Structure 1
Amino acid sequence: MPVEQRPVCLVVEDEARNLMNAMTIAEECDFDVIQAVNAEDALKLLEARTDIRVVFTDVHLPGSVDGLSMARTVRERWPDIHILVASGKVDIDPALMPSRGVFLPKPYEPDMLEATLRTFMAMDASQTPTAQS
């Protein structure tokens, strides 16, 4: 019997503590987790892989592209990927968020991140056709 592949969550965060916390929570939600510290590296990973189901990004990232711009690019190029955006700036203009993107204000409760990731998994499971025997 083949082992089902776990969904992949790409965490884009430049602060080590926040990165480790997000990765731990995603792993506890049965995701395989990969990481990037800036938007440019995240986009390269997305171009190279087809198994990423969730992108969880901070808004403020080093480099020329911020997390919101990257999230909008992800939505345009990979419309089926779930997008989760976090920031300590709680007054983000909803018009800047990608469609169907979820915003978590920092500091977020681990339970909120876990619930959001589990919701994403449930959405994918409900859209996956049942294998025929």
Structure 2
Amino acid sequence: MQPRARKRLVVLIVEDEFLVRIDTTKTIEAAGFEAVEAGNVDEAIAILKARDDIHLIFTDIHMPGSMDGLKLAHFVRNRWPPVKIIATSGHARITESDLPDGARFLQKPYTATKITSALRELIQ
């Protein structure tokens, strides 16, 4: 009998800059997670509504759409409380108190090591 394949945890990457999104996706997949991509908040919400296997969102703060990444973080916490949240920005000065409880902030530019460490801290 073969061992069961362990299901990879799913991370939703919400980033409007294509090259940053692709690079982040590669980093997250290399860390052993499944990555799903959204180019804006509206796409992210549609994915969250359609899928029940998203474990964490990794979202940029400044994005076009009906809300920014900070508002998305609060929306996700209220609508899907078990989903973990990492917010990022190279421009905004965000403190933990700006984010929903349990969310993390990563300042851009970030490294693959910082992304992987933050993911592993939140999903234990």
Give the TM-score normalised by the residue count of structure 2: 0.91
Deviations 1:42-90 (A, max 9, x none): 0111111111111000001111210000111111111111100000125
Moved over 6 A (4+): none
C-alpha separation between the residues in 1 aligned to 2:58 and 2:68? 13
- The equivalent of 1:104 in structure 2 is 106
Larger of the two Rg values belongs to structure: 1
Amino acid at match of 1:72: H
Q: Which runs of 5+ in 1 are unaligned?
A: 124-133
Mapping of residues 39-50 of structure 1, within 5 Å = 39-50=41-52
Among 73, 77, 80, the residue aligned to 1:78: 80
TM-score normalised according to structure 1 size: 0.85
Name the amino acid aligned to 1:48.
A
Q: 1:31, CA displacement in angstroms?
A: 0.8
Once the two structures are overlaid, the 10-residue window that deviates more, 11-20 or 94-103, is: 94-103
SS for the counterpart of 2:106 is strand
Aligned-pair identity in percent equals 37
Residue identity in the other structure for 1:39: V
Which consecutive unaligned segments of at least 5 residues does structure 2 have? none
The two structures, once aligned, show a CA RMSD in angstroms of 1.3
d(CA) in 2 for partners of 1:44, 1:7: 19
State the aligned residue count: 122
| Cα drift, residue 117 of structure 1 | 1.2
Supply the distance in 2 between the matched residues of 1:39 and 1:109 (Cα, whole angstroms). Answer: 23
- Match of residue 33 from structure 1: 35
AA aligned opposite 2:80:
W
Displacement after TM superposition at 1:93 (Å): 4.6
**Which residue identity lines up with residue 78 of structure 1 in the other structure?**
W
Residue 25 of structure 2 corresponds to residue 15 of structure 1? no
C-alpha deviation, 1:13, in angstroms: 0.3
